[in-house]
Structure 1
């Protein structure tokens, strides 16, 4: 296993916490080409399992690790009857035909190999019969082929195995099957490794047969290769042979695919395929294409026969570009007029359909033309000019790499020691328990939510006699819970919930965007979170300043929403008890969950016990939205008086709960000739969903200026309501939108003046001791004085900028962008942020237990708490345990969020442990006087106990004792590369310097920086949400349409430095929070993209300003480049 193979193998995994780098490092440590330092950093995963064999390689080893039961070989036919239908596992084709012949005419069946298709088309069926063909050996047969014989694949051959066969054929007979290596490379981007390992090529073709609009990569590449299918027919057990086009119209109701054969190609064959996707891997295509041409290279690349030009993703009936194919017969590819005319003909015959979940028809039509040009340039290669040659290849991503730099000062270890999280060993071994891992009680019931499918409509009737109705009149958004179904098992509950039918009347067109809401008058002036005053917040006199400024520009920016994408869905488990209800919840705020449950059940708060062991991610989604499921489960538990468990699936979670607030801003800025900002007027609009529960627009007002100073400033916040789920907090709420807004202004000013953008940024940096709107004056501008000078050196900024500009001159169709972006994040401890902590030392052995009101959700709060306790008490870290968070000891604690939970809980533990330490020191002093020797820790603890010294200490982090507020500074230098013809891009490198004071745990803090940064990259690039404009249903409610970044979307080279030689005197033991601030740096991907796009536009005569709404998806990048085939498709 090589490091490259490791990266390929993670193409189907999604992670929100880490940014992938540590995961890649962990797996790469086991690869054959791993760096030696990496190999030494990690232990074998088998060794972290608490029940691992202690005799490994020892003298007492008896071979128990190899003592495994042999699996049962399923060589005989299997038949299983389930509620879902009848399952057959025949072992011969004759038996398959027999089953098919005996089916009733209207009976629906499904042939299953890996059955991966259900993940794509979830609503297919229902089927009454499933026939698994995995037991039929002949369907796994393969033949590599030769110059005179085709390559053959049986229908059960997996995509992974097919790729291997194609590569073998290309290696053994390159003259006949070189094109199969191209297909193998294309299939490497179909789905992901897990799917390719079990999914068959034939199953993919059957999805195309059932869904003509499906952009099947398998279908289009096999069609281009001239493949022939062998079909088996149940009626007479006969075979027939058809091509791929005939297959689409063939009657497959009682037939199955047996094999495919791919004939050898002619020696003069040119073959190229493309797949343009929303992200690097594990995504379906916007458009996919295949180009096959027989050309006479010696005769100016003359096309000697009818070429094959195929497209997917245009419309269900369009595959062949027939007119373009006809035109190219006999034409010479190295004739510029031929290419321009071919693109024009293609543009006239490509007619993309228009569905709300798809990229725009305009983009897909232009992309088809661009791919034709890309294919031809690839065929011509060195025949064309050097600058144009960059049009041919796709962007090749190198092997990922990274560096982490931080201080290693040991004075207060274990505080500051880079150690893994306490839970990491149990997590990677699968032993960490999450809510739904808890075993079921014998009488436990399962629940499933019933959701509306229409927004802004009156509910006429709910057809479910046993449904518990939540919404009785008007539904406010599509996906609003309307009832709850309870059953003995989860599958039954889910199926029953889907059977509930809701009828609607008075259906009105839903309002789904901010601009629609403004037009409809759904606007309300927002409040500032500092003053709680509605209306405009001002600094200086904007109106007066605008009268005299030398330059003024106006602009606007739309920022999209984002799903939190926590790995653990919203879940709750409510158990009636003799004293009330035990609520096990995936909650970030146990006090609010307790209050909401008590309110819904109309019982006292002291009868509700809420407990949280850990969360599988949250990012703000489980502050209030969690109570949707907690209260629902509680209602059911009370009504039935049995334990009820409600765990929503991903689609339900994404549909019923709100996401990050979208934003829209309009601005006017005045500035002088140097680029100094003199006045700024901003109108901010936040989409809160159907109800303004948790608007963050007031935060944005406070922090809008980022690291800059604008002497005259007017900021007016607004909230708008839409017919969508109530939006909620999401990592760095308001702050990241503020950074995007002001940095967009900076970019606009620099563009207008034709000046260097970093120069404009540095010019407008806030000086020391200058107060700003709602922001205290800073003693030093750390980002200006320390971080950016260091970043320029570490990132080799000036040298690389020269390289980028040279690259852009040398390459017409690939462009690079480089940008430095600074950020400032203000941490303010508001009075309500308070937590209860308790530290207990057990007299039996001196071990320490801690319970606090914060919630561990992957951010490492428990580890930092334990490190602080171990340091203050002077005990080894392994003697400290952190207990689950619950509403007895953690009573009245505030929400865990914004990383303030980690700050204040460690502060509380520090204070509590200091008090304990003082009590112990008094006893220790007496003991030393009596015995004249140093007592051991255990001796000291026992003596304290015998002297009736209290070995427990509680602390409430009251506002009057909070640490002082502070600033967190950071900056990022990011380089990106764009393929202009497709819009696809790759982040080549990102250098981040993060101020975190004296880090409590560099491993955790670096992980927080990387994870926050990549989550922000998703917000600004790949994570686009779309709605059905008629019903308001969220179309991006699963991984098929919603695309968080993968491991291959992270920067190819990611370097993180924790600012050295810094200590925060206002923070806990000199530390600063790291969970939220780095998120803001991710807007650097937008500024770098602007640099690259501007390079192409300027080269083609347009250096004017252009708006760049986010997320900047691949299709948007392409459209912003403004390609014109008539003028731009040139061979020189």
Structure 2
């Protein structure tokens, strides 16, 4: 998906002979980064090698599927191979902690990680006793008997130590070498050709490799560079040792040698670099060479080695070398030089402390905002500084050592406030951060660097048992430590209705976990197939004068370029027949004025994907600009430039009714800012179009077949019945593939239509993020008057939402409806406006409008509680509509989760800790569920064996729609679940189908299937009555002989189902590191009304996944634009950070309310896809609770703390209001 080692979807297992030990080793790598030529001599296993339907599944695959750890399934093969590699590398003996740490490089956008972690932790050798033993891993998946070790190896692991030299058609060379002599021999032969030493090739995930490179030298098997040994006073480590090996070497040395104990701290830090698959391939030298080539890179190793006083041996030839410090190495010319070894010195542990720190956007797999490493030695009096090294990264490209502060400390009595304040003053003058977007602000990076230094001093004081340290300050000596996570899921089941209400693993789980599940891009190449890539505009507000593809078409493999002028029909990827939803035309290709940076102007097709991507960049666009109109990619930019014509009134608003007059009303006002959010589907926007005899076969990753079908037909001027759509599944949707997929499909179909060849279009992550819309950002301004009890007397809320470049997909109205739904809003006035910005047209994303609506109103409730001093839940109950179910649920939930006891414990903790704070909050939720459109379901029974096939108009995007469909069919027909099979969605069996979205589709599909099955039951009833106890197969055979139609097509209509409300409550408890702004969700409780859940395992997964997506929205995911160009700067996994496996709640508890009292639901159930997303703002309220305590301790007045999304560590740190004069020991 990302092609940079940032998502984990492509992880594979590698086995090979270690060049030093000659033992067979196994490890995981990102296949997107690992060069094919580097596989020489290695055994590569993909998920298909583990198990499959024909030969049997591997226990890892079975466990993941059984525990519902796979939803859309796109991440599942990578997850399985990560776990497999861990178990293989440890001979099956792994701890639960190792399992949780190992998933640092694997992103899952669907599940919320909890079921994946539970599945894999159940395979740990120290997991719970009631779980199956680890010996299961030795069962052969083919025979289901004990492994006999007789299967032939997939490839030989005996690597012949002879050099390899390959010359490609374009004169690029690949060398594999086994000795240092061979490296220098190649250096002497290649002259001035640009070259690259290849260790793990992981640097490509940070900085894209130059296309000018001509020579690649694989040095991974050079024994000298992979060795390590101890000699007098030094630990010598080969420079090409991988980071994973380096961690093991450091720990082993620290355990055995007292004067190398500091290596344990270094190992702990190295474990935080990148992710396991990257650390398995990436090397010490590779990391340091990135710092050399890109001085702005905040290399953790550079800082660690500089602080430890390491020496780096750099060879210029076989007989000449130089010894350099890490800082000197970073400034060297490395042309035809080789970093051979790293020498780590012996450091007398007596009176010496070495510590290192880093802070990043999320817990794992994120580069540091700032990192630091400190070494300090005291005299024998354990108070006077003898020596100090203070090293920092992430400040500016030239700065590493705080030398003036180091000198100031030497000879000083350390443990007094005067020395500390002098040192901080000097350090403050030395730290001069730059600020290059999208990095965190300079103010934050400087502040957290100084906090690291203060934290280190607290640690030194602790190590030396300094009794004068204020007990409230002591927790500041350590970073947040995450314990092992856990989860609880509580729900009921009704055996009378099984398989409905039963926990049923997702039907496709095993296929997804084994790699057998096929997505749109998994079809083998069709004969003559071409690859497509967008050509994009880069100058918003300019007009396209001319497009010149001449240079692009000269590139080898490039076939054609198509633009707006080549479209036979309508240049619009939104349906003309759906004007209620989509009033604006959205061009497939820009034909005039450029609306945003990254807007597609055409498509290049080529023989290979790389050729198409490269050629797209060579197309020249000549712009005409008539004014210097500023670029406004955000709402704030529109407001700053006072561009009032960009702010559009929406037709519906709520007006205040009569308002009571109260003389002593309290007034408050505030602002809530909510940023955008990228859908981050693991499957990119994808479409494959194949011209066929009756038109075109289209395999699209879409949530809305009908929209794409209508748009393509209009664009190509062909009948709709000539377009044959097939969608088996989609690798994550969340709204990304509702309307936006239509643009990719139109471009792909146009290219196939004009070239008369199959075309495959798979967008890169940069293209996805830059050219495709996201969640609507929103700014809310509110004014409220309340009485002493918090009852609202008057409320005005004016909010604006960023629609991007057009007004399609209205969400303002959704936000308005939800805003006042739970409360007595008769005295409220709510107005929403749409803002047009110079950015891609934004689009629906999980709980669109409702997320903003609930967030706005609940923020106001919190603000009222702060102003009045009334308990926040009492404020809500005082304003709740009479008869609301929440009036009953709130007190019960509060008691069940022991909210009051926990809040007191939080307050006690905060009173005892200055630099660590906790917060807790609780909110209610009422979510409206409505049904729209029409949709078909076809149920067909095969007479001979009684099996049943179902095809429906919904799209399986990971929400478990097919599983629920099979459950209700089996229940209604009264047959085993195993008899049911779900077939792909096609435009033939499900024409004119409404979108899959808005949480409703599983319900309406199940409704249509039930109706179809009821019709079948009516047809079959006479035969059933006659044959009485005969098996189902006998009944269907008899029906066949009597010409009874065993296939039914039923169309659901929106009038078939009535709207209803979904109720919920959530509570979050959080811990904040005040010195860095990092947070940890210690516990989350969610209570959600699911009616009588049709499939509780599926519903729990939807709730957990939605809530964790919300955690990302509020805490980690930030879209940053260059305001002068409109470029999205956070457009890849390196810069955009959804939550990882260690960002979820440590204790995650879900309880379903299954009252069975939903007469409007299908089989008394309720939807679950989106509501929990709206409750995730509770994490922000818990954060505010913690920050109030921090600000109080900082001496700040008790003022309302405005928080929004994304509240990343830099925002949190600055809200804590730390001042350097507070950094004291007592």
TM-score, with normalisation over the residues of structure 1? 0.94
Between the aligned partners of 1:536 and 1:956, the Cα distance in structure 2 is 35
Between the aligned partners of 2:750 and 2:939, the Cα distance in structure 1 is 35
| Partner residue in 2 for 1:537 | 654
Between the aligned partners of 1:863 and 1:1082, the Cα distance in structure 2 is 27
CA contact (8 A) 1:525 1:535 kept: no
What is the Cα deviation at residue 45 of structure 1?
Answer: 11
Matched residue SS, 1:474: coil
Matched residue SS, 1:538: coil
Structure-2 change in CA distance of 1:863 and 1:715 (3 Å)? same
397, 410, 434: which one aligns with 1:353: 434
CA contact (8 A) 1:144 1:168 kept: no
1063, 1079, 1082: which one aligns with 1:985: 1079
1:970-995 per-residue CA deviation (whole Å, 9 max, x = no partner) reads 11111000000100010001011111
CA contact (8 A) 1:45 1:428 kept: no
1:685 aligns with 2:780: no
What is the Cα deviation at residue 80 of structure 1?
Answer: 2.1
1:635 aligns with 2:750: yes
1:95 aligns with 2:182: yes
What is the Cα deviation at residue 41 of structure 1?
Answer: 13
1:788-799 → structure 2 map (5 Å cutoff): 788-799=890-901
| Partner residue in 2 for 1:394 | 479
CA contact (8 A) 1:108 1:125 kept: no
1:167 aligns with 2:235: no
1083, 1087, 1112: which one aligns with 1:1018: 1112
| Partner residue in 2 for 1:1112 | 1207
What is the Cα deviation at residue 72 of structure 1?
Answer: 5.1
- Structure 1 portions without partners, runs of 5+: 528-533, 769-780
Between the aligned partners of 1:283 and 1:1083, the Cα distance in structure 2 is 23
1:190-209 → structure 2 map (5 Å cutoff): 190-209=273-292
303, 318, 325: which one aligns with 1:243: 325
What is the Cα deviation at residue 290 of structure 1?
Answer: 1.2
Between the aligned partners of 1:522 and 1:1095, the Cα distance in structure 2 is 43
CA contact (8 A) 1:700 1:737 kept: yes
CA contact (8 A) 1:575 1:643 kept: yes
What is the Cα deviation at residue 247 of structure 1?
Answer: 1.1
576, 580, 593: which one aligns with 2:708: 593
1:548-567 → structure 2 map (5 Å cutoff): 550-567=665-682
What is the Cα deviation at residue 43 of structure 1?
Answer: 8.5
916, 927, 934: which one aligns with 1:825: 927
CA contact (8 A) 2:104 2:1142 kept: yes
195, 214, 227: which one aligns with 1:141: 227
1:412 aligns with 2:497: yes
CA contact (8 A) 2:242 2:282 kept: yes
1:372-404 per-residue CA deviation (whole Å, 9 max, x = no partner) reads 111101111252111011111111100011111
CA contact (8 A) 1:819 1:1084 kept: yes
Matched residue SS, 2:798: strand
CA contact (8 A) 1:455 1:477 kept: yes
CA contact (8 A) 1:226 1:262 kept: yes
Structure-2 change in CA distance of 1:1035 and 1:42 (3 Å)? farther
Tell me the number of residue pairs that the alignment of Structure 1 and Structure 2 aligns.
1088
1:30-67 per-residue CA deviation (whole Å, 9 max, x = no partner) reads 101111344499997988xxxx524634xxx9876456
CA contact (8 A) 1:201 1:218 kept: yes
CA contact (8 A) 1:29 1:42 kept: no
Consecutive aligned runs of 4 or more in structure 1 exceeding 6 Å deviation: 40-47
1:1103 aligns with 2:1186: no
1:375 aligns with 2:456: yes
Structure-2 change in CA distance of 1:630 and 1:40 (3 Å)? farther
CA contact (8 A) 1:183 1:273 kept: yes
1:110-149 → structure 2 map (5 Å cutoff): 110-122=196-208, 124-144=210-230, 148-149=232-233
1:1061-1084 per-residue CA deviation (whole Å, 9 max, x = no partner) reads 343221000100001001111101
What is the Cα deviation at residue 878 of structure 1?
Answer: 0.7
1:253 aligns with 2:335: yes
Structure-2 change in CA distance of 1:53 and 1:1035 (3 Å)? same
Between the aligned partners of 2:309 and 2:150, the Cα distance in structure 1 is 54
1:36-75 → structure 2 map (5 Å cutoff): 36-39=129-132, 52-54=141-143, 56-57=145-146, 65=151, 68-71=154-157, 73-75=159-161
1:1019-1042 per-residue CA deviation (whole Å, 9 max, x = no partner) reads 011000111122111111111110
Between the aligned partners of 1:62 and 1:1039, the Cα distance in structure 2 is 42
Structure-2 change in CA distance of 1:460 and 1:372 (3 Å)? farther
| Partner residue in 2 for 1:783 | 886
Between the aligned partners of 1:509 and 1:578, the Cα distance in structure 2 is 50
| Partner residue in 2 for 1:956 | 1051
1:425-444 → structure 2 map (5 Å cutoff): 425-444=510-529
| Partner residue in 1 for 2:1031 | 936
1:243-277 per-residue CA deviation (whole Å, 9 max, x = no partner) reads 22221222211101111101111332211111011
Matched residue SS, 1:339: helix
1:310 aligns with 2:391: yes
| Partner residue in 1 for 2:916 | 814
| Partner residue in 2 for 1:775 | none
| Partner residue in 2 for 1:662 | 777
What is the Cα deviation at residue 192 of structure 1?
Answer: 0.5
CA contact (8 A) 2:202 2:278 kept: yes
Between the aligned partners of 1:124 and 1:575, the Cα distance in structure 2 is 34
Between the aligned partners of 2:663 and 2:437, the Cα distance in structure 1 is 46
CA contact (8 A) 1:706 1:738 kept: no
1:603 aligns with 2:718: yes
What is the Cα deviation at residue 457 of structure 1?
Answer: 2.7
Matched residue SS, 1:440: coil
| Partner residue in 2 for 1:158 | 242
Structure-2 change in CA distance of 1:549 and 1:689 (3 Å)? farther
1:184-221 per-residue CA deviation (whole Å, 9 max, x = no partner) reads 11101000011111110110000000011100001110
What is the Cα deviation at residue 599 of structure 1?
Answer: 1.1
| Bigger shift: residues 382-391 or 184-193 | 382-391
What is the Cα deviation at residue 923 of structure 1?
Answer: 2.2
CA contact (8 A) 1:514 1:722 kept: yes
240, 254, 269: which one aligns with 2:352: 269
CA contact (8 A) 2:1156 2:1165 kept: no
Structure-2 change in CA distance of 1:805 and 1:84 (3 Å)? farther
1:679-721 per-residue CA deviation (whole Å, 9 max, x = no partner) reads 2111110101111111311100101025322330111110001
| Partner residue in 1 for 2:272 | 189
Between the aligned partners of 2:983 and 2:905, the Cα distance in structure 1 is 54
Between the aligned partners of 1:791 and 1:868, the Cα distance in structure 2 is 31
| Bigger shift: residues 1046-1055 or 698-707 | 698-707
Between the aligned partners of 2:929 and 2:132, the Cα distance in structure 1 is 38
535, 539, 562: which one aligns with 1:454: 539
Structure-2 change in CA distance of 1:431 and 1:43 (3 Å)? farther
Between the aligned partners of 1:698 and 1:378, the Cα distance in structure 2 is 54
| Partner residue in 1 for 2:106 | 13
CA contact (8 A) 2:652 2:813 kept: no
Structure-2 change in CA distance of 1:317 and 1:706 (3 Å)? farther
Structure-2 change in CA distance of 1:816 and 1:633 (3 Å)? same
Between the aligned partners of 1:297 and 1:1070, the Cα distance in structure 2 is 75
1:430-481 per-residue CA deviation (whole Å, 9 max, x = no partner) reads 1101111111112211112222333333335434134222334332111111
